[in-house]
Amino acid sequence: MKKIGITGQKGFVGTHLNNTLKLYKEEFACVEFRRSYFETDEALDAFVSQCDVIVHLAALNRHNDQDVIYATNTGLVNKLVEALDRTKSKPHIIFSSSSQEEKDNLYGKSKKEGRELLEKWASTSGGKLTGMVIPNVFGPFGNPYYNSVIATFSHRVARGEAPEIQVDGQLKLIYVGELVQEIINKIRSSNNEPLYFVPHTAEARVSEILNLLQRYKEEYQDKGSIPAIKNNFELNLFNTYRCYMDIAKHFPVKFIKHMDPRGSFVEIIRLNVGGQVSFSTTVPGITRGNHFHTRKIERFAVIKGKALIQLRRIGTEEILNFELSGDEPAYVDMPIWYTHNIKNIGEEELYTNFWINEFYNPEDPDTYFENV
């Protein structure tokens, strides 16, 4: 079992990497990292001494003073190298650099010089370095106005605001889940690659991205329809957008219930994609679920009975509780990386319709069990 340490463990990419590594419990063990470790030699020495692999993600991306960005990022690498030298540790270092390396800015310069410092350490110490030059990264839970334009646009569109395009550039993009898989592949291969250009997986103009996000707002957030999703990029963008909605306020969404002397009629879902629809009954007091998905879109629609649906984002403690009743049929959608369940809290059988955007594949279920 490899012991993996992640500097910047609580950051955007670090959170996704840490959560994903925990899915491979028999292969990897995560070594805890805290930002304060860079403040004392003893703490940093103890950290590096435990690690077989260190993924160095800690960095400052934005600041009003570019000199602060440069000094911070090169300073963190220097501290890491000094700790490696003091402890004579030789872990495999995976360094996250940026496609900004070749641009005329101090952020790009700091990343390039940091990679070169680690390359020098590897060549003199006998250690290994994978220097990953990474394109623009997007995905759920990134910080708006900091991590990416997609995070900023998603945050603003979801709140009914109108973002402005300053430069309608063509972006080379990689989804955070795809980047995490690239990092895991490098951890497994354990090769010395001082310079590795991570391939982008999508290209889009800023205006194209904004148009898609605004369509998701209109079709999904406002009308409840699942939009057409043409490729993996659009699936990843849609899942990203959903995580910027105010889930606690948006759900549950009540259906329009049509009544006449024959009985009632409720339209459950409008789809511009395929998938699988299921129906279940649940006896009183029983809970279903307690699992999460990393890519699937899923809807729980309560038709009869009383239900408690609970959601909790992985790595956090806050639980969102939604009570639904068949007297006023409603639905809750499950964001990715949120463990979820449904419990019959009534005295009669609970009737639930489930929709998910892909057929169940037992060899690739994308279903990970964790209690809410």
Domains of the chain from N-terminus onward: 2-211 (3.40.50.720), 248-369 (2.60.120.10)
Q: Give the start-end residues of each E strand in 61-154.
A: 92-98, 128-134, 136-138
CA distance 158 to 241: 8
Assessment of whether the complete model's pTM goes beyond 0.85: yes
CA distance 112 to 115: 5
Pairing label, strands 320-325, 306-313: antiparallel
Q: Which pLDDT value is given to residue 62?
A: 87
* Closest among 356, 348, 352 to 281, alpha carbons compared: 352
Please enumerate in sequence order all residues whose Cβ is within 8 A of that of 365, keeping only pairs 6 or more positions apart, or say none.
Answer: none
Check residue 320 and give left, alpha or beta (phi > 0: left; psi -120 to 50: alpha). beta
Degrees to nearest 5, angle at CA 33 with 27 and 34: 160
Query: DSSP readout, 138-187?
Result: E-TTPPTTTT-HHHHHHHHHHTT-----S--PEEEEEEHHHHHHHHHHHH
Pairing label, strands 338-344, 287-292: antiparallel
Burial class (CB in 10 A: 0-12, 13-18, 19+), 6: buried
Q: Please give the average pLDDT of every successive group of 10 residues along the chain, which has 372 residues.
A: 97 98 96 96 98 97 93 98 97 96 92 97 96 98 95 98 94 98 97 97 98 98 97 98 98 93 92 94 97 98 97 98 97 98 98 96 96 98
- Phi first, then psi: give them for residue 101, nearest 5 degrees: -50, -45
Structure-block tokens of residue 38: 């860079």
CB 59 within 8 A of CB 94: no
Q: Which pLDDT value is given to residue 107?
A: 95
CA distance 42 to 31: 16
Q: Which pLDDT value is given to residue 102?
A: 86
Pairing label, strands 330-334, 253-254: antiparallel
* Dihedral sign, Cα of residue 112, residue 117, residue 118, residue 123: positive
CA distance 49 to 51: 6
Task: Give the H or E element holding residue 26.
Answer: none
Tell me the chain's radius of gyration from C-alpha atoms: 23
CA distance 80 to 239: 35
Degrees to nearest 5, angle at CA 333 with 224 and 279: 100
Q: Which pLDDT value is given to residue 264?
A: 87
